[in-house]
Structure 1
Amino acid sequence: MALLDHSWLQLLMAGALGLVLTQFAFLGHEASHRQIFASNRANDHGGRLLAVGFAGISYSWWMSKHTRHHGNPNRVGKDPDIAVDAVSFTAEDAATKRGLVGWFTRRQAWFFFPLLLLEGVNLHLHSVRSLVRGGPRPGRRRELVALVLRLALWVALLLWIFPVGLAAAFLGVQLAVFGLYMGGTFAPNHMGMPIVPADAKLDFLSKQVRTSRNIRGGIWMSALMGGLNHQVEHHLFPSMPRPHLRAARKMVREHCRVLDVPYTETNLAVAYRSVLGHLRTVGLAARDPFDCPAARSMRFG
């Protein structure tokens, strides 16, 4: 950044910074799972520094949301990651969409990756909103002050370094890459895997393994995805540090084979194809009630 001065090539640095901040978010995720330090207190302090100070995400909001996800992955009504959002994850939700929202839902697979470019902004807004509107909890005010101060100082720093237009573009590219990288990493973990009905009864092993997907690619994929490529093992042993997940994978695969529990592992391209296929299938449930596929197929001209 120092060498490029006010050149628009600074946008390449903005993209690189988006990648770096996502890696800090991955480390904050590991701290929230008590993977880094032996002490819970040290993990919380480290997690807040990494998540709030570097990534600009509320640590307490993430802890609450992610803990509920781990307890009931892909379970309707309990997993916040498949709750009603910009996209629909279940056919029942999609079937309620009408008008412009219904039009969007029917095409949500096409909009998925463009939407991820806004996920960085969405994460920041959810973080601030959860701290402003959330109930009383220890350290809420301190975290809110730290988060707002971090965001304000970052914007002020960019305006001090660059002209207004370049500063705005730099921030936009950094947030877009951050959101795309974060969302693109978490999406293949569970999207396209079985959705668990609210009243279904599953044992712990089946609940965690059947709804999770591993991504092949070895040590490079682990570095790229912050260890989340070993999603099955991460859900079975959430406090296990990243370096040990790969070793645990062999034992888990064999155990699942013996018990005849489906163990899903694929490459990243196939995982994304499954994600988009799921979104496309769910989106069809939002079909216009006045649209008759048979009549449409017989139209001329």
Structure 2
Amino acid sequence: MITVTETAVRPAPQQRGGVAQSVGDSLVVAKRNLIRMTRIPEMVIFGLIQPVMFVVLFSYVFGGSMVVDGSTSPQEYREFLMAGIFAQTVTFATAGAGAGIADDMHKGLIDRFRSLPMARGAVLTGRTLADLVQTALTLVVLAVVALLVGWRIHEGVPKAIAAFGLLLLLGYAFSWIGALIGLSVRTPEAATSGGLIWLFPVTFISNAFVPTEGMTPWIRHIAEWNPFSATVQACRELFGNPGVVDSPAWPMRHPVWASILFSLVILIVFRTLAVRKYRSATA
């Protein structure tokens, strides 16, 4: 007697579209990097210590010697300073992003990702999203420290949230510069050095730590058209902090729109370059 058994035919898994696959793969890579951060807590701790040190040192060392809106009050300078420290913190995270990608390249992890059926840009997008989460956590801690040293917001919570949104947008845009640097060098050490070399002039030739009125005219012109300065100016305006200058430069007159525009241009340009570099580097 012959018994015929019927086997159920399982439907083939539904293929996701290009955008859906890219988003899903990016979130998986981001989750992987966030789990890695929790297993190496010193990465987060050291990332928090540096900006806190900047707040304390700048506030109490330079607080009584800076003139802001005609006043030498330490309280005035602390409120002036914090937008610059916030912006510096989100941009300095760029060096860590570049070093992380360079480390993954050096260890061959990127080659393993290439063997999987996943979107090419997802590796970089997932990494930058994980760095964005870490940056947001750092900003929360930094805001608490700022409140403890005397910083205050004067334009309400919604505008303060909008200011932090601009900061995160700037940090995310700059993280793609770090990604491009990380893909362009051979070691994590070189990525860290390369990530800091250009960050120092960007953050210090700006309105972050001193008013631009006392600068040499040509330096002031550069500082006021610096995308970093636009975000700092926008945050001071939204926080209601001192130091909002009346300047003929367009980014200083319309800082919120300038911050959004500059950040989006940086994001689009450097994401395109980084993904192209990733494809050529792993081809």
TM-score normalised according to structure 1 size: 0.31
Structure with the higher helix share, 1 or 2: 2
| Max Rg structure | 2
TM-score by length of 2: 0.32
